[in-house]
Amino acid sequence: MRIACLFYLLKHPLCYNRAMQRNKSPIVIGIAGGSGSGKTTVANVVLNRVGAHRIVYLPHDAYYRELTGLPPNQRADVNFDHPDSLETELLVQHIEALRNWQPIELPVYDFTTHSRTQATIHIEPQRIIIVEGILIYALPELRKLFDVKIFVDTDADIRFIRRLERDITERGRSTQSVIHQYLTTVRPMHLEFVEPSKRYADIIIPEGGLNTVALDMVIARIEALLGDDANEGTMVR
């Protein structure tokens, strides 16, 4: 049986390369930072330059807890910047599954209605896993899963302006509601959970997606990891 499997792999280089790759656990990279810091921009730059088909991308805010049991007018009052608002235990399960080369079903969250939809996105495992979110280093059970921890550091006024523009344009919020949420939950939770978690970071990137030097270094390291896998999987034919 083993000889037959070996002959099959030798005749099918793509399968051989995948088998070689799966001997290694995926590298899990965290990208954290305050709301509006530019962490999603950093993640998108990495995905675009390295190739989205080579990376699993898991945004923590896809794991907001189901709120359909609450009346719509009460959902907006939930503190979405507190760790309890997120189903982190499910995210941990998904990362562990991907590290074992098992596929997952990524939740889809609707920010306009503050509720999780019935849809999911099927995700196949890849050598690189990127997890992005404001609270991913504040939670020990999640923090311990990261091989590399990046923190995007941006001034508070810039973060607020970006959040204001995003929530009005993309999430249908009013200016007053964004300001109210920022003052009552976003800023206090940032000071309590997000800012202190910066001390766990391996790499701090000031100015997020605008810091091309730091991004070039991060992307070069990811490419090197993927390149090493390709070299190990190359066969003389």
Say if 168 falls within a structural domain: yes
Claim: this prediction has a pTM higher than 0.95: no
pLDDT at 19 over 50: no
Q: How confident is the model at residue 1 (pLDDT cuts 50, 70, 90)?
A: very low
Q: What is the pLDDT of residue 78?
A: 84
Parallel/antiparallel/unpaired status of strands 203-206 and 148-153: parallel
128 within a domain of the structure (yes/no): yes
Give residue-wise pLDDT tens across range 168-212: 988 888 999 899 989 999 999 999 999 999 999 999 999 877 899
90 vs 12, 17, 59, 69, 141, CA distance in Å? Answer: 36, 30, 12, 19, 11
Kindly state whether residue 6 falls inside one of the protein's structural domains.
no
Supply the pLDDT for residue 108.
96
* CA 80 distance to own-chain centroid: 17
Q: Which residue has the tokens 């997020």?
A: 208
Is the CB of residue 204 less than 8 Å from the CB of residue 197?
no
**Residue the block writes with tokens 């997000």:** 194
The confidence band for 69, taking pLDDT boundaries of 50, 70 and 90, is confident
> Residue 97 maps to which CATH number?
3.40.50.300
Each residue of 88-129: pLDDT tens digit?
A: 999 999 999 999 999 999 999 988 887 888 999 999 999 999
Give the span between the Cα atoms of 101 and 25, in whole angstroms: 8
Give the count of domains, the chain: 1
Q: Is the pLDDT of residue 12 over 60?
A: no
Q: Evaluate whether residue 194 is within a structural domain.
A: yes
Per the rule left: phi > 0, alpha: psi between -120 and 50, beta: everything else, 54 is alpha
In a domain, residue 81? The reply is yes
Q: What is the mean pLDDT of residues 139-154?
A: 96
Predicted local distance difference test score (pLDDT) of residue 111:
81
Which pLDDT score is estimated for 74? 79
235 domain-assigned? no
Structure tokens at 203: 């790499």
pLDDT of 20 over the 60 cut: no
Two tokens, residue 185: 């939950």
Rounded Cα distance between 74 and 78, Å, is 7
With a cut of 50, say whether residue 10 has pLDDT above it: no
227 located within any domain: no
Residue 1 lies in a domain: no
Q: Which domain holds residue 87?
A: 25-218
142: left (phi over 0), alpha (psi -120 to 50) or beta: alpha
Angle ∠(122,76,137) on CA atoms, nearest 5: 55
